[in-house]
Structure 1
Amino acid sequence: MAEITNSTQAARAGVAENPVKRFFRATEIDTRLLGMIGAMLIIWIGFNIISGGLFLTPRNLWNLSVQTASVAIMATGMVLVIVTRNIDLSVGSVLGFVGMFMGVLQAELLPQILGFDHPLTWIIALMAGILLGGAIGALHGAIIAFLNVPSFIVTLGGLLVWRGATWFVTSGRTVAPMDATFRLMGGGTNGSIGATASWIVGVIACLAIVATLVSSRKQRRRFGFPLRPVWAEYFLAGVSCFLVLLTVFVFNDYPWPVAIARKFADANGIAWPDGGLFISHGIAIPVLIAIGVGIVMTFISTRLRFGRYVFAIGGNPEAAELAGIKTRWVTVKIFALMGMLCAIAAAISTARLNAATNAQGELDELYTIAAAVIGGTSLSGGMGTVAGAMLGALVMQSLQSGMVLVGIDTPFQRIVVGVVLVVAVWLDTIYRARAR
């Protein structure tokens, strides 16, 4: 049986397409995602020109990736929440409360039991934080699902309750320092994997991309679905691998600060060269964590039965319930998962600050929701992607980072974020109306 590609299928149907439409049909590139990438590039180039070339530097791009990690992680869960026509306004407060809880465990409680710098300290603190976050999320989900209280009200109450509870944990004190191993999750000089390991990760990522495309083609052929042209497969693989390796190159081009590099050289008996010692940061650990979470959440949302249930509920809740889906328990699981992701984000945020503060996570709910919506998640439910939400988080952080770099005041930054969110929802409304 002859293989049918998207291009030949269109030709047999007698559809006359221009080269651009034929290209997008063949490659199956999401035009909304491509548009968002284009908008992000415009933002980057614009801020780079205004800042005098400071934005598109390895140092700033590396810092931008680290700053994006915590919001991107929460945005992956917010996709599932919004897809089911719910909302979670409490994520910033949950992050702050769980972060303070993990901080107190490391700095005050566990050292009394295990001693300082015990190898299990960071593991216990992280696991306890994830369990606490999951319990808080499950509580929100149970109230929404079984008491029929709207998610807006439940999570708005959670925003206030957990922000107040954060203060009561330590009576407003900042808790520091964190466990040395725990701090690696926050990035920094020691919280990066270096040049060699980064190239290895990049090569593995490229092999994974190629394997995924090959596997997808085999599956399509197996079930008789239309295949992409071979040139389109090569194009997707080539562009994806190029972007991965370019990212690794940029991160490896950001060296350790001179003072830290000199201390490292002295401690290891390395002669200090005339031009200085160039030691690459490489990929930051929080970025690897965010990528790992994104892969897992994509697998959950697209490959597991639970993910299909989530999108079925978002598309038509009544039909999903009539089909036998336990919609209430799915809701509880979604919010529990959201709470666990908040805990992971809290660990990254606390490790990066090397302290747990009462202000942690403030306004993160705004950035997380905005990231999901800008990334293509529809507030009407039933539509959204994890990759889009993570890219949306990068767009939001790019705006914030660029405005800080050019010296724009904080109040005006919030105005810009609010306008961007409204425009994103408006564009989503237009897109859905045209798609009908």
Structure 2
Amino acid sequence: MSQAAKKTTAGAGRVENENLFTRFLRATEVDVRLLGMIAALLIIWIGFHVYGAVVIGRGAFLSPRNLWNLSVQTASIGVMATGMVLVIVTRHIDLSVGSILGFCAMMMAIIQVWILPEFLGLGHPMIWIITVICGLLIGAAIGGFHGYLIAYLGIPAFIVTLGGLLVWRGAAFLLARGETISPVDSTFTLLGGGPYGAIGATGSWIVGILICIGIIALLVVGRRQRNHYAFPLRPMWAEIFLGLVGCGVTIGFVLLVNAYPWPIGIVRQYAEANNIQTPANEIYISHGFAIPVLILMGVGIFMTFLTSRTRFGRYVFAIGGNPEAAELAGINTRWVTVKIFALMGLMCGLSAVIASARLNSATNNLGTLDELYVIAAAVIGGTSFAGGVGTIYGAILGAVVMQSLQTGMVLIGFDAAIQQMVVGSVLVFAVWVDTMYRRRAK
């Protein structure tokens, strides 16, 4: 028997000896670590809900209200976590993201509260647009400056961003002399969520249907491309299963956000403003998807496309896998590093929009310790400190896990000190899991 025939026979025997679950994973190509994160998330949710029901006498974690608020609270961290994936994939770290967020938020508050009303007038419709653009540009400029120091001056990313953590936090304090600047523009506040910062039931169903159509289209196009390039195809039942699961989760999410109605006080104000004679307790208005959640979805789609479908994304993972080989292959690793940190700064600026709009103000403490949660979200989502490995959807799911832990501990009355201890322990555990996973994969 030839050597090739022996390999084929051995491979066939290995496939025949696989259990049902392993065959399922091979057919659907589902990442084992993704299933592990989903299982951990479900355990966290159910655990906090049962604990609240048994010990406190009120299981509130799995209520539509709490899960809707959880999605809004995750948005800011989730947006920054998508940028942190690229930073860690290239074997760097960014400890300054929380301070950049706070600085950008303070700059935007000054622009829209102190500067623009003097020139455009209070409540001008262009105020929030100019403010958002300025916040994004400021964040990108700061990130690009950090990237330049790292790539062209050879200063380690740890030192540069540690210095940035202190510099930009201090700069935010000096800008407003430690004062809280509020309230921000009324249209700008809609970007932070709330009853008026959501798209309602009808808009949510439209978004849900579009997402389902996108899932089906991706599966169909992906199968055609595999067939065109003679790549192995997933079994048809696996394609149908993935489509049903994706659409089912989407529809379930839509039903969840539509199950959370406006508070009775907001409904009463709305009825009075629109001359509605129906009693407020008989009016049911759903929140639907909050605008910050839609922003997170859009960022997730954009960053996934950027990392998996563009030359820049391939360069990022090539540098993370082997920086020396990437440079010898002709990749301008320094310029790519600058762009990665500029993109991270841009995401900090966008998160600053969400955080300050949700708070309806800018404070000097905004974004404090966010760097811990962002790094933890990326690592829990499967991004490896060894470089070359990481996914955008994993980082977003990691952000949900981190926010679920924090929200759950608040609901059951854990002290703030215990919350920080748990978050730190989870981060160390996630890195240990990644180390063991990589050892077994070798």
Q: Give the TM bin, normalised by the shorter chain.
A: over 0.9
Identity, in percent, stands at 63
Match of 2:187 in 1: 181
Superposed displacement of residue 263, structure 1: 1.4
Match of 2:416 in 1: 410
Match of 2:203 in 1: 197
Residue 251 (structure 1) aligned to one of 257, 262, 285: 257
TM-score w.r.t. length of structure 1 = 0.97
Residue 342 in 1 paired to residue 335 in 2? Answer: no
Listed one character per residue, the Cα deviations across residues 144-203 of structure 1 (whole Å, up to 9, x for unaligned) are 001100000000000000000000001001001111111111000100000011011001
Match of 2:102 in 1: 96
Pick closer, same or farther for the CA change 1:25–1:163 going to 2, 3 Å. Answer: same
Residue 163 (structure 1) aligned to one of 169, 183, 201: 169
Return the alpha-carbon distance in structure 2 between the equivalents of residues 11 and 99 of structure 1.
58
Residue 113 (structure 2) aligned to one of 107, 120, 139: 107
Residue 61 of structure 1 aligns with an amino acid whose one-letter code is L
Superposed displacement of residue 51, structure 1: 1.6
Residue 401 of structure 1 aligns with an amino acid whose one-letter code is T
Residue 423 (structure 1) aligned to one of 409, 425, 429: 429
1:137-152 superposed matches below 5 A: 137-152=143-158
Pick closer, same or farther for the CA change 1:10–1:184 going to 2, 3 Å. Answer: farther
Return the alpha-carbon distance in structure 2 between the equivalents of residues 200 and 25 of structure 1.
34
3-state DSSP of counterpart to 2:366: coil
Superposed displacement of residue 15, structure 1: 3.7
Superposed displacement of residue 276, structure 1: 2.5
Residue 416 of structure 2 aligns with an amino acid whose one-letter code is T
Residue 60 of structure 1 aligns with an amino acid whose one-letter code is N
Superposed displacement of residue 271, structure 1: 2.4
Return the alpha-carbon distance in structure 2 between the equivalents of residues 44 and 279 of structure 1.
26
Structure 2: stretches of 5+ with no match in the other structure: 1-9, 54-58
Residue 43 in 1 paired to residue 44 in 2? Answer: yes
Listed one character per residue, the Cα deviations across residues 193-245 of structure 1 (whole Å, up to 9, x for unaligned) are 00011011001100000000000000100000100000000000001100000
Return the alpha-carbon distance in structure 2 between the equivalents of residues 13 and 231 of structure 1.
22
Match of 2:139 in 1: 133
**4+ long deviations beyond 6 Å:** none
Return the alpha-carbon distance in structure 1 between the equivalents of residues 15 and 106 of structure 2.
63
**Residues 262 and 272 in structure 1, CA contact (< 8 A), matched pair in contact too:** no
Of 310-319 and 44-53, the range deviating more from structure 2: 44-53
Residue 256 of structure 1 aligns with an amino acid whose one-letter code is W
**Residues 258 and 276 in structure 1, CA contact (< 8 A), matched pair in contact too:** no
Listed one character per residue, the Cα deviations across residues 262-321 of structure 1 (whole Å, up to 9, x for unaligned) are 111122222224852110000000000001001000111000000000000000000000
Listed one character per residue, the Cα deviations across residues 381-417 of structure 1 (whole Å, up to 9, x for unaligned) are 0000000000000000000000000000000000000
Structure 1: stretches of 5+ with no match in the other structure: 1-8
Residue 287 (structure 2) aligned to one of 281, 285, 288: 281
Return the alpha-carbon distance in structure 1 between the equivalents of residues 383 and 14 of structure 2.
32
Pick closer, same or farther for the CA change 1:275–1:167 going to 2, 3 Å. Answer: closer
Return the alpha-carbon distance in structure 2 between the equivalents of residues 328 and 88 of structure 1.
16
Residue 68 in 1 paired to residue 74 in 2? Answer: yes
TM-score w.r.t. length of structure 2 = 0.95
Residue 397 of structure 1 aligns with an amino acid whose one-letter code is Q
Superposed displacement of residue 16, structure 1: 2.4
1:15-30 superposed matches below 5 A: 15-30=16-31
**Residues 268 and 280 in structure 2, CA contact (< 8 A), matched pair in contact too:** no
Listed one character per residue, the Cα deviations across residues 329-379 of structure 1 (whole Å, up to 9, x for unaligned) are 000000000000000000000000000000000000000000000000000
Match of 1:59 in 2: 65
